[in-house]
Structure 1
């Protein structure tokens, strides 16, 4: 072995360490050694089914990175842990929080425990760090809730043999994905308002870096185009009631507004407050439709017409897909489950436009 051969792993190890200021995890060892994380696990647990040259390469990477194997992961080489990992992010938003609960319910119904890791940063590095943590815990498979562009993009960089399913991560991400048909949900809301007789529908959109917000915007726009209705300028929000309130003040100054589709119920709530302060009656003057069907939606004034997502069904579909992948030892021959179709919940905030 030449001096150059000995130096190469050290240079690679330095590059791995400098990528992120955190302790080395099994994925780092696998990357440096050029093997799968399953091979690293077999080496660390003394499995005889590893070629000597591969074993030496893995052990050298362990030494270079100063990797300290997780005791739980070492004990799970020859059997299933019956624990599934979930990567999520810190949020009080109803939709993502309910999605997480639906996944946890489905896992427990299938006889699995759940280990949840919250991303410290909602970006590519955050996804990879959270996934590494779960791999080191020895989970059987991972569900990743990735509704933002930055997090969804990170899924393409996950190890090929990682058994994982994404939720609300869009298309062409390299993983099976479970989702709600957000475009159809928006169509339901806008069609309802157009069928009531409104000439067009204004839209308060969610943040542009959220895939769900983009899909709801697309559904809104396509539905208006389909009937040759005018497409008003989009008013941007950030999912909060405050942003809905601020959008409502803008809309209240537009005399031609008769119908508004808010991309979530929290923004619709703020919109209702702004309209009430400006003396605009809902639905006598302006109809409002939200999205999510939060528990409070039926008790707003007026009760809110909205689009309901079946988060429990998303959890069940993601879990079925993950368990089938586990049965196939990670071989991804499983087609992605079809999107869950949302439903329109009719209440008192929508009505035909007043005659003017």
Structure 2
């Protein structure tokens, strides 16, 4: 079994990533049923989404400061995180609508995801170092599908208890952890070294080119997760205008968020010939333009705006694997995992105010809250321009 998995490491890792990251937005996919049954509001949705983000930030900061991702085997950390994540996600079923316990369990889910997403990137680089941008594109594409998957599961289980999609996400996470555990660590990076200094994970921050790549990622992250949080609300608005029922929301939300997987894979293919910087710059430019124009077009036909959301969904995440590839290329080889965790920690930290502002102000300003996301692409493009003025990376 192990030999078979090791013949196809990239499909194994990306499938495990898809399964593990289905925990991320597991409650967002069942939100309509949760809000109807328990009387929860959009503010509660923002609070629980922020809990996951905060947990992920705490986890990645711990990995970065301790160098954990480079002190121990990435596959073992990934597998353990998947097991624990499945357990706490399942526990939310008994805590829904019971603050602060529901917040604590979602925070714990985010902690576990910190052992899945950055470690998945390290595993890709350890197994397939050549064409890292294209390989990481598949990984982030699976993260995107994993984020969208709860919406699909909810659409497929309409009329069934909302607990079922949550349990399905936990089962998938267990399967993903088992796949990576059997695969093991790749041969192209140094093995885990428990004697690495605790500060090793922060070494990349002293490198200007790493900081430039990370700066582009930070701008991208300000926009990305807030947009994903708003997608069901934006879809719901257009369906209301069409006179349609909310039953279509999870299907269309899956389509908009999941379309980002095609953007990641397509961008990865382009990066092999045009370079990661080129792909990141143009994807960020397109998503920033849609972000800027969308609220001004809010009176146009609903089907046009749903189509525009699909374009936004493709562009908004297509640059993410390219920023990761640029950062990995400039990080110290012995601490790639911890360096990426540093970048993830700061990037996801920026998602907190973006999600809090947009979800909190939605009830008052509606579609106009997306203008609060525009500074993200602007910052990202400025940082990429700084990189272009220095050494060119591909």
User: Normalising by the residue count of structure 2, what TM-score does the alignment of the two structures yield?
Assistant: 0.26
**TM-score where L is the length of structure 1:** 0.28
Greater gyration radius: 1
Instruction: Write 1 or 2 for the structure with the bigger share of helix.
Output: 2
Could you say which structure has the higher strand fraction? 1
